[in-house]
Amino acid sequence: MDVQSNGKRSVLCLRYLNSRICKCIAILLVLLIARAIVFPFSSFDRIEENGLVVIGNRSPFCLDKFLEVPQIVWGLNNQKIAFARACLTARMLNRTLLMPSLSASLFYKEVERLEPISFDKIFRYEEFNPRCNGFVRLGRYMDVSNRTKPIKIPKGSGRKWTVERDLEQLKKYSKEPFDQSEVVRIEGKNPFLWHDHWPVKDYAKVLECLVLVDEIEKEADKVISRIREVGSEVRSKLDSSATGAKARMSLQPVPYVAVHMRIEIDWMIHCRKLEQRSKMNQICSSKEEIVNRVGNIIEMKTPMVVYLAVGDSLLNDSSISKGWKDGFVPLEKKKLGIDEIYQKYPYLVQSAIDYEVCLRADVFVGNSFSTFSSLVVLERTQKLTKTGVSNLCGTDVRWRSYAYNILGDSNGARRWIVDMSDLSLEKISYGSNDTSCR
């Protein structure tokens, strides 16, 4: 019902009417339409009761008011979080978010080389609004009628700009007279650096509406089928027993583990600093530590192919494939013969493909202080929750995730889920040694 009334609402909303009148007309019409569709024969009382429920549950997007945010920058996962935060900010202001620019490259300081790329080059725009219907909404610049001048909101910064002040500001701009303006434009820094006011489950809801465009999705499919193909060859070589043959006959795809190995020089410098600052020694993991802890995971059934999701700078480093326990077959892009797939694309797309490969892996192992790993685990936890299992940390569940930087049972990596009831995204954006599983 909401889908239908949504479409009608935007037609009915006359742009130049005062927003309050518009709202009232829209509500009345929605009530009437809802009544006609849902309860053609029932009594009037019931209808009103139900009509009100409908109004209460939806966000009033009919007003065609927009929020504009600065270009979204940095790593893929910083960008995803920043995007979700911009959506949630728009939701709070009762506005539609104007489709922001993402950044195709990873230059941190050289702003002129940030290569803006439109959101819909990476994620499907047509898929986003239906999936997030009633929660948040994206709009296009051509939807703006420019009937009033945009209002600019300067984001404060510095020590004095507290979470509370930030929230006050948002509240102020959601009220009169600011709520009358067609476009509100937040100026200043990248949304990743804005204060956070929302629970993890709200972020998860937005992230679920992000679907890769077909071209990128297809590349990820190719990578995954190549991994499974090699896995199947490995199995038939290592395991020629009757059960092995039977397994090969079955149509079950061959499982794989994805390990997000963060050992590049820049990360090592960053994580050592982080360790010093937080007086903790669980942030950096050496290559040897990763290999050992993945090898010691007790639930792991061998032979198993291990996809190494590593940064470009490690692709020529053959040592990442050494030292693995018997039964573990490490694979990287070159060995799989898929590095050309990646070379066709800018950083952001490469990262999006690797993210998908990690998200869909049977087992994922990452670093709990990496935003990339943490977001992968957030989405895997969300998927797992939907299957209805009672113990998300159980040993026999699907889509298990582990953190190699935290010691778990039998000297293996620690089981890891994201606490979906957490009230802020802090642990995910900045990392934590709490993996919510014993």
Ligand X SMILES: *[C@@H]1O[C@H](CO)[C@@H](O)[C@H](O)[C@H]1NC(C)=O
Which parts of this chain interact with ligand X (CB under 6 A)?
A: 60, 94, 141-142, 144-146, 174, 179, 280, 282, 312, 315-316, 406, 433
Specify the residue, 108 or 141, whose C-beta has the smaller distance to ligand X: 141
- CA geometry: angle 317, 80, 431, nearest 5 deg: 65
Specify the residue, 215 or 266, whose C-beta has the smaller distance to ligand X: 266
Q: Give the number of other CB atoms < 10 A from CB of residue 360.
A: 18
Specify the residue, 169 or 232, whose C-beta has the smaller distance to ligand X: 169
Q: What backbone torsions phi and psi does residue 262 show, to the nearest 5 degrees?
A: -105, 95
Specify the residue, 55 or 389, whose C-beta has the smaller distance to ligand X: 55
* Widest Cα–Cα separation across the chain: 76
Q: How far is CA 2 from CA 59, 60, 89, 438, in A?
A: 10, 11, 22, 42
Residue whose Cβ sits closest to ligand X: 174
Task: Decide the pairing of beta strands 101-103 and 116-118.
Answer: antiparallel
We find the least distance from the C-beta atom of residue 371 to ligand X, in angstroms, to be: 18
We find the least distance from the C-beta atom of residue 97 to ligand X, in angstroms, to be: 15
Rounded to a whole number, what is the distance in angstroms from the first to the last CA of the chain? 44
Alpha carbon distance 127, 210 (integer Å): 8
Specify the residue, 141 or 430, whose C-beta has the smaller distance to ligand X: 141
Residue 368 CA neighbour count, 13 Å, CB half: 25
Residues contacting 45, CB < 8 A, separation 6+: none
Specify the residue, 142 or 242, whose C-beta has the smaller distance to ligand X: 142
Q: Give the number of other CB atoms < 10 A from CB of residue 185.
A: 16
Task: Decide the pairing of beta strands 328-331 and 304-309.
Answer: parallel
Three-state DSSP at 186 gives strand
Specify the residue, 243 or 410, whose C-beta has the smaller distance to ligand X: 410
Alpha carbon distance 219, 351 (integer Å): 12
We find the least distance from the C-beta atom of residue 245 to ligand X, in angstroms, to be: 39
We find the least distance from the C-beta atom of residue 339 to ligand X, in angstroms, to be: 9
We find the least distance from the C-beta atom of residue 218 to ligand X, in angstroms, to be: 24
We find the least distance from the C-beta atom of residue 26 to ligand X, in angstroms, to be: 11
Three-state DSSP at 203 gives helix
Specify the residue, 157 or 343, whose C-beta has the smaller distance to ligand X: 343
We find the least distance from the C-beta atom of residue 380 to ligand X, in angstroms, to be: 20
E runs forming strands in 256-384: 256-260, 304-309, 328-331, 363-366
We find the least distance from the C-beta atom of residue 141 to ligand X, in angstroms, to be: 4
Specify the residue, 23 or 248, whose C-beta has the smaller distance to ligand X: 23
Alpha carbon distance 59, 181 (integer Å): 18
Closest CA to 384 of 429, 426, 425, 420: 420
We find the least distance from the C-beta atom of residue 278 to ligand X, in angstroms, to be: 7
